Structure 1
Amino acid sequence: MKKTLSDKNILLAVTGGIAAYKAAELVRAFKKRGANVKVVMTAAAEGFIPAKTLAILSKEDVLTDESQAATAEVAHVQLARWADALVVAPATANTLAKMANGIADNVLLETILASAAPVKVMAPAMNDQMWANPATARNVNTLISDGFSLVEPDTGFLAEGYEAKGRLAELNTIVSQVEEELNERSAEDEILSHLKGQKVVITAGGTREPIDPVRFLTNRSSGKMGYALAEAARLAGADVTLVASVKRDCNAGIKVRIAESAEAMLSAVQEAMVDADVFISAAAVSDYRLKEPFTDKVKKQGDDDGLTLDLVQNPDILKTVGMAKKPGQIVVGFAAETKDLLENATAKLQKKNADMIVGNDVTKAGAGFDKDTNVVTMVRDGLAPIEAGPASKLAIAKEILKQVADIQEQR
């Protein structure tokens, strides 16, 4: 019988709660399913279970603050790179708070901060009142937005001597979730591998149309969704050009071109699309610009005087690219709506000659501008709408790219 986690690298991060003693059985459970297991633990966790016990069970050295200090190797970075899945179990309230805020004051937190493991799972265990505290809820939600998944604590007998929610989840539940997520990731990698080597052009952010040298017309778009799409495409092996109105931190492998206005963005997109395979218009392009921006800062004329701006329509970037697309090119647009999402997205699909429209109702919880999460409905011709989220924008970006790969497969 094939072991379900054969040759997967599991990094178990053990923090200092009473449930730390269960780490021994958790290591055994992962090993029984065929996984390679390494452990990093805090000094507080060593107060509940010796590092030597976990070393014997995992057949690997355990990384601790003391062992890190005794070697010249940057062991926490090597361990972070090794892992296919990072599992923080048990995760105390203190460690969750530090993880959510990027604090790295021990070797376990340093390892977590350095980890780019495709699967990251947290299994909290703590007193019920600590679990119910709004600060803990904020920290957990921040970590979910950062790409962690949650195995919620169970209701059971706590160390304090009563039954309540806060007990570490059943070990089989934790192992099964890690297994499921790794399998999903493998399937996702296979789908997204179709994008390897392709040239993908993406737009991001709200364009800025000058009124005068000081002011401009714009909208609430932060560019986070476009940057997430660029990162997801890069991870899939694509050659990514991001045309953005705003500069955000991103991987050096993404070619970023800053274009603040709609006209500048269109010019940059048309240049990049000459030999591109995919265009994703995630930018919120201003519909109008001033016919003639003022050369000097506009001053008040009087207490009651108004100001009339002479506006003209901006070029429609999505429609321009959609109508000019070459055979084989994929064009995807976004539709930020406040009502009639499906109707508006479907109409836009036809009007812009796009292959897919990603609609999002910006009034929904977990969606909207300048958030780290999103909720979308993907509309393709002849297919039922496909919903995704609420989830991190990177996770949503991967779902969008899966549909792009499917469109290419269907051709």
Structure 2
Amino acid sequence: MVATSVKLEYDIKDIGLAPLGKQRIEWAGREMPVLKQVRERFSQEKPLAGIRLVACCHVTTETAHLAIALKSAGADAVLIASNPLSTQDDVAASLVVDYGIPVFAFKGEDTATYSRHVQIALDHRPQIIIDDGCDVVATLIQERQDQIKDLIGTTEETTTGIVRLQAMYRDGVLTFPAMNVNDADTKHFFDNRYGTGQSTLDGIIRATNILLAGKTIVVAGYGWCGKGTAMRARGMGANVVVTEIDPVRAIEAAMDGFRVLPMAEAATVGDIFITVTGNKHVIRAEHFAVMKDGAIVCNSGHFDIEIDLKALKSVTDEVKVVRNFTEEYRLSSGKSIIVIGEGRLVNLAAAEGHPSAVMDMSFANQALAAEYLVTHQGKLEPGIHSIPKEVDQEIARLKLQAMGIAIDTLTPAQMEYMNSWTSGT
């Protein structure tokens, strides 16, 4: 860990990893043309000049480009991790050394350190918070009420974080604007579906090196993350079972060709279990009891509460590390359950997270949402606000342009027809 005797300026694992981190950041940038264009404009216009900003994100090569864009916009930015196992230590080092961005994050930090970093971030007295899971905002409301007056607003990019913001609004404690980045079309249709789908399986394969073809993979939850995970698992040759609590999503999964079962039944047939619900204890003691010997469980939801590991440990005689980020729980019954990444985000605990091409759009949304909060300061009511459609459309247009894809435009006659009620059959 690195600190000064006067003030903790950054807290990372190894400053010497910076050269490797810079190389990897530059590689990721090859696939992030939209955020590059946003950063270039920000460098000229400085829309966040002097704004104190805290970003609580997974510290990856892709996040590095968001942090660089925010600094280019003139923001006085601090970056902390949004998950104890998601930080890429070489990236954290490069951001400090090569880009002058204070980072408080390292892979494997314990809960106390994670909480301390949140407090350090709030010591920055942020005017804008870019959150991933809503921990910084929740801590601000619960412990730093006096700082709310400084806040222009927050942006949130996860389903879990939006659920927490909605609960805050219902309870009357969300007294400032929050931008719902997660539900932007150019975020959840792509990041949640294609990003989570690919990176989740990437994490499982890196951690276990098992063949997915022919395995029965149980996907808990059929939101956009679940859809992507199920789709990619089927593409790898797995037999996919979906569990759901939402009847509409369950019908959708069935009509997409997946077998739909309650978890109590799925637990008896699954070889690999992936939770992507955003809820707690989706896999519980009664499910562990009926799983096959050697069943693999992992989580791709934001927090590590979807798998009830306390219940698993209560019936476990021994826990043994069998591969990097992979633990074998030897149960009292004699069988074993394999847990990947301590039940935390498997795509970041055991792999590198979403590919940069998809995070390009997500982080463009984050950067533009921060700009929107500043340019509309004093004009937005407290509560949750959607990304403006024109911003969403512009991000999609820039992405298509970078991909070399052209699309049609409406003719004058078509525009007239679409805006008229007098034209009939």
Same fold (TM over 0.5): no
More strand by share: 1
Q: Which has the larger radius of gyration?
A: 1
Higher normalized helix content (fraction of residues): 2
Higher relative contact order (CA 8 A, sep 6+): 2
> What TM-score do the two structures reach when normalised by structure 1?
0.29
Per the normalisation by structure 2, the TM-score is 0.28
